[in-house]
Amino acid sequence: MQRTAIITDAWEPQVNGIVRTYQNLIKELEKKEETIEVLHPKSMCYNGGEPLPEWVMVKLPFYREVEFIVNPWIYKKLINSYAFLGYKIHIATEGPLGLYAKYLLDKAKHPYTTAYHTKFPEFFESYTGFSSKLLYKYYKWFHSKSKCVMVPTEYTQELLLNKGFKNVKVWSRGVNHKLFNPKYRKPWGHGYVLCVARASKEKNIDEFCQLQHPNKVFIGDGPYLEELKQKYPFVNFLGQLDGVDLARYYASADALVYPSKTDSFGLVMLESMACGTPVLAYDIDGPKEIIEENINGCIVESEYGYNLNSKIEQIVSVKRDSTEFSAKKWTWEASALDFLSNMK
């Protein structure tokens, strides 16, 4: 039986696409009787029966929900043990813990895979003003010895290859069809459009709130939420929801609006489509990979100066049956098979 260690800076209680992706992946891998261990910054580990020194965390000043470990070396023996015992090792993130794992594994000449989940260089540039080119140099170096850099879409694969990255392969994403499906649909009398996202400025939530549609519902939490509530008191802000509660809002919406212009992928789009609810989004990597025009959603081409309002009437007329059917091919089982293939 193959043993795999996933090393990640992002884990619970964070609620984001990276964490949810690995949670769903692990469930599928365990069904296949794979042995999976997750090493994250707040792992409770022991050395000879004694607890390891306390981890020390620091919050990002512009992303307060995300904490990074300051002393990743407390996991030195554990990471070296993974290598010695022949674990297949996957480094999920480029933060301090991922960086320290890379250092130890490179030193031990132990092979590993990595993942590139989101356009953090562009995100960092939008917050700090520093050129994304500088951060891409770090990312290129970080992934340079990875035997496979896993990315969510073919568009992201092409982006990294054009920047000189090597061994870049697509690792598809999935959706839980048992949870996200049309059975929870209970339409409102006047209908509403929905946005599910982290409440932060880089997600372009303001444009969703300004759409020419009278009924708007926003689900999510984050540092920008209170300001959004003050600016747009007519929007129904529900905070963070998950499970059946979230599925009900997906299924009952007329459309999901995905206003981001920077995200490389969005699991929320697949979850919405699985519920039969079409998606309106800009022509960025993730949506272009998923959305089929007038089949399961609508794409807005921002380079021509159009905004989401240009298709707000069109999106609500997209057929729900074709939308749901289009999501059938996106499964976590297929995602797990991609992951295992890339790990070989």
The model's pLDDT over 48-70, given as tens digits with 9 standing for 90+, comes to 555 566 778 777 665 656 678 88
Q: Which CATH superfamily is domain 3-175+332-343 in?
A: Glycogen Phosphorylase B; (3.40.50.2000)
| Average pLDDT over every residue of 260-282 | 92
Pick left, alpha or beta for residue 188 (phi over 0 → left; psi -120 to 50 → alpha; otherwise beta).
beta
DSSP three-state, residue 139: helix
> What pLDDT is attached to residue 16?
80
* 99/84 Cα distance (integer angstroms): 19
Domain boundaries for CATH 3.40.50.2000 within the chain: 3-175+332-343, 182-326
Second CATH level (architecture) for the domain 182-326: 3-Layer(aba) Sandwich (3.40)
- The answer to whether the peptide bond before residue 187 is cis (omega within 30 degrees of 0) is no
Averaged pLDDT of the chain: 90
**pLDDT surpassing 70 at residue 108:** yes
* 248/269 Cα distance (integer angstroms): 15
The set of residues, in sequence order, having a beta carbon less than 8 Å from that of 195 and lying 6+ positions away, is 205, 208, 216, 217, 218, 219, 220, 256, 257, 258, 259
> What pLDDT is attached to residue 285?
83
CB distance 96 to 70 below 8 Å: yes
Q: Provide the token pair at 253.
A: 């919406």
* 344/342 Cα distance (integer angstroms): 6
For residue range 173-225, list pLDDT tens digits in order: 999 999 999 999 998 778 999 999 989 888 899 999 999 999 999 999 988 99
Q: Provide the token pair at 276.
A: 């039969």
Q: How confident is the model at residue 107 (pLDDT cuts 50, 70, 90)?
A: very high
Q: Provide the token pair at 207.
A: 């444009």
| Average pLDDT over every residue of 278-283 | 96
* 17/178 Cα distance (integer angstroms): 19
- Predicted structure pTM score: 0.88
- How are beta strands 255-258 and 279-282 bridged, if at all? parallel
**pLDDT surpassing 70 at residue 8:** yes
CA nearest to 208, candidates 241, 240, 236, 243: 236
**pLDDT surpassing 80 at residue 169:** yes
- For residue 131, how far is the Cα from the chain centroid? 23
The set of residues, in sequence order, having a beta carbon less than 8 Å from that of 133 and lying 6+ positions away, is 121
**pLDDT surpassing 70 at residue 313:** yes
**% of the chain residues with pLDDT over 90:** 68
- What Cα–Cα distance (Å) separates residue 195 from each residue in 13, 56, 207, 218, 332? 22, 35, 11, 5, 23
Which segment of 23-27, 131-135, 146-150, 155-159 scores lowest on mean pLDDT?
131-135
**% of the chain residues with pLDDT over 70:** 92
For residue range 114-151, list pLDDT tens digits in order: 999 877 777 666 666 677 788 889 999 999 999 999 99
* 214/195 Cα distance (integer angstroms): 14
DSSP letter string over 182-235?
GGG----SS--EEEES--SGGGTHHHHHTSS-S-EEEE--STTHHHHHHH-TTS
* 298/293 Cα distance (integer angstroms): 5
Total residue length of the chain: 344
Sign of CA dihedral 205, 12, 35, 4: positive
For residue range 212-267, list pLDDT tens digits in order: 999 999 999 988 999 999 999 999 999 999 999 999 999 999 999 999 987 778 89
**pLDDT surpassing 80 at residue 1:** no
> What pLDDT is attached to residue 222?
85
**pLDDT surpassing 80 at residue 314:** yes
> What pLDDT is attached to residue 323?
98
> What pLDDT is attached to residue 145?
97
> What pLDDT is attached to residue 60?
66
- What Cα–Cα distance (Å) separates residue 98 from each residue in 8, 209, 243, 299? 6, 37, 30, 35
